[in-house]
Each structure stands twice: as structure tokens, then as C-alpha cells.
Structure 1
């Protein structure tokens, strides 16, 4: 996570209601609107923050809540699972008997198993966030 992305995330976490607009983040952190936009987009993609529309003010509000931690684990798991599957596919293409194929099979299998455990654990412990 970049420095500015971390600062935006922490500022949202420290806000009383877990909500801020881009203008508030820009003002509070003394950074450019473009920096806030890049940081928020990254946080949204990673599941740490969600976007809500404020219809009265016609602007986005960025929200961090307790369930964001769960969503972040799920999103990260999906991304890692894609890497594991790509490794397994490459191993099949290169041949499972080649040194590279063997290494990719091991890596893919390891990642699949770890992600499966992590996803099950996140689901099991999600109630702690409620």
C-alpha cells in the first residue's frame, strides 16, 4: 500500500462515523484531489473502502466499516487464487515433469490450499466484526 493510500485509509478509520468525502480527505491530509482519487480507488478495489452516493450533496462519500476487513480478505483471496490457477495452467502447458512445471504445480497447490483455509477462516470469524 502506498504512503498516501495508507494515510487515506487511516484517516477514514479514525473518523467518528467512518465516512469522508474526497474534499474532506484532500483538506485534512493536505494532498491533491488526484492523490486522494488514486488512493480511494485502490482502497475500493482492495475492499477496504466502499463508495456511497450522497444524493443531497451530489458527491461520493467514502466509507470504511467493520465488514470492510472481511471484504478485503475475500478480494485478496480471489486475486491470489487467480495467480494459483495461472501457475497451474502454465505448469500444464510446460509439462508437469519439467523443473519449471513442477515448481509451478507446487506454488499453485500451496496457494490454493492457503487461500481455501484463509477464506474459510474469514467466513468463520466474520461474526467478530458485527
Structure 2
């Protein structure tokens, strides 16, 4: 309702309006909202080209959760600020969602990634994320299928889920693999549409471009993979010592 918080359906309508190139005022008129409300919503959640209704809803819910969450008593180990760590973890989860992971899967992966040990038990994850063990189990199953996490036993024989240091390597290689599929598809179009036709020439150039990008991504990922396993202090200032 006007004056209240935007609903998920309203956010979907905003996303559709932006996709159609509608002005903020036109979108606001259809929603019965002030133009300033729509403008603020879009600029706060990725801008006109990056706005996504599901991510905007997710971000809003978690801003509300942070306000309701009790203030942490004392800093985390290492002098870290508990609220700052949680906020950063949520931002990391949003990036994983933008790459295509479901919301809960992204939250679990982000939670593991920012943990010093790189691993947590199912109970730890459920308590940290304030969700059910079943939700954690489903997310872990997907992450295992993507080779992003593995299972191991701790000193108390409890099963822990550990983030794989190669998570970003696997992501880059998957991107290269998917791009290679597009290359094959574009080349098939050249034969179907007739070699030398404008459409075929367009697809041929697309194939050449994507093939170059795909091979470059795969080569760079392979060359840089060792950086994911570097010891603390190696490559000072984040610089790479890899040879081209």
C-alpha cells in the first residue's frame, strides 16, 4: 500500500518497467507510489541496469534482520566487529546469487568462505544463518555437486562441511565451458543460415570472439590456480609471481 514498504510483487513490476525502458515517474504512477520511492529503491539496489527484484527483496529483508538482531557482546576473535562481518557475509552471498546460486546455497557458501577454518558443522551453519537443518542440507548437496565444498570429520568425529579453495577456479572453468557451448552453437548456425549470408557472418564473428574469450578464461584460470593455495605472505601486496 502507498506509504508502506515495497512488496516483492511491486519490485517485480519495477524490474519489468526498467527492462521496458520506462521512466521512474511512469513506474511510480502505475504502482501508486511517489517517484522518490521508486528512484531510491532502484539506486539502492544496483541502479537501472543492475536492478533485480529478488536481490532487492533479499537485501531489504536482511537490512531488517540486522536492525532486529541484538547487539553482539564484544568483538569476534582478532578484534573483528561482529555486525561488520555479518554485513560483509551478506554482501558476499548477494554476489554468489548474482552468479546464479539459489539464495540459501549462496548464504551457506558465503558463510563458509569467510570462516577462518573454512568449515562448519550443519548445526553451526543452521545457528549462524538462523535456518533449519533441512535448508542447510539441501544447500550443501548443491554445493557438493558443484565441487564447491567437501565433507570431513573433526577431532570429535563430527561431520563438517569445508569450502574448497578452488571454488573460484571451478566457477571460472564452468564459465569457460558454457562459453564454449555457445561457440559450437554459433558455428552450427553458420551452416544452417548459409555461409556468406549476413546472419551467418554475424554468427561466425560471434563464434570467433567467444572462442577467444573462452580459451583466455580457461588459460588464465589454470595459470592463476596456484594463487588460491598460496601461503600467507606470498606475493606481497597481492601481486602475482606467475609467469605468463
The bucket for the TM-score relative to the shorter chain is 0.7 to 0.9
- Matches of 2:129 and 2:173, distance apart in 1: 29
1:96–1:105 CA contact under 8 A, matched in 2: no
Q: CA deviation at 1:9?
A: 1.8
Unaligned runs of 5+ in 1: none
1:50-85 Cα distance to aligned partner (Å, 9 max, x none):
23254945x5x4322333222221122112212221
Q: Structure 1 residues 40, 83: closer, same or farther in 2, change over 3 A?
A: farther
* Higher RCO (CA < 8 A, seq sep 6+): 1
- Matches of 2:132 and 2:189, distance apart in 1: 42
State which structure, 1 or 2, has the greater radius of gyration over its C-alpha atoms. Answer: 2
The two structures, once aligned, show a CA RMSD in angstroms of 2.8
Unaligned runs of 5+ in 2: 1-96, 230-244
Match of 2:178 in 1: 79
Match of 1:52 in 2: 151
Q: CA deviation at 1:119?
A: 1.2
Aligned match for 1:91, one of 181, 186, 190: 190
Q: Structure 1 residues 62, 103: closer, same or farther in 2, change over 3 A?
A: farther
2:195–2:201 CA contact under 8 A, matched in 1: yes
Match of 2:225 in 1: 126
Structure number with higher helix proportion: 1
Structure number with higher strand proportion: 1
| Aligned residues between the structures | 127
- Matches of 1:108 and 1:22, distance apart in 2: 44
**5 Å matches for 1:1-130?**
1=97, 2-47=102-147, 49-52=148-151, 54=153, 56-57=157-158, 61-130=160-229
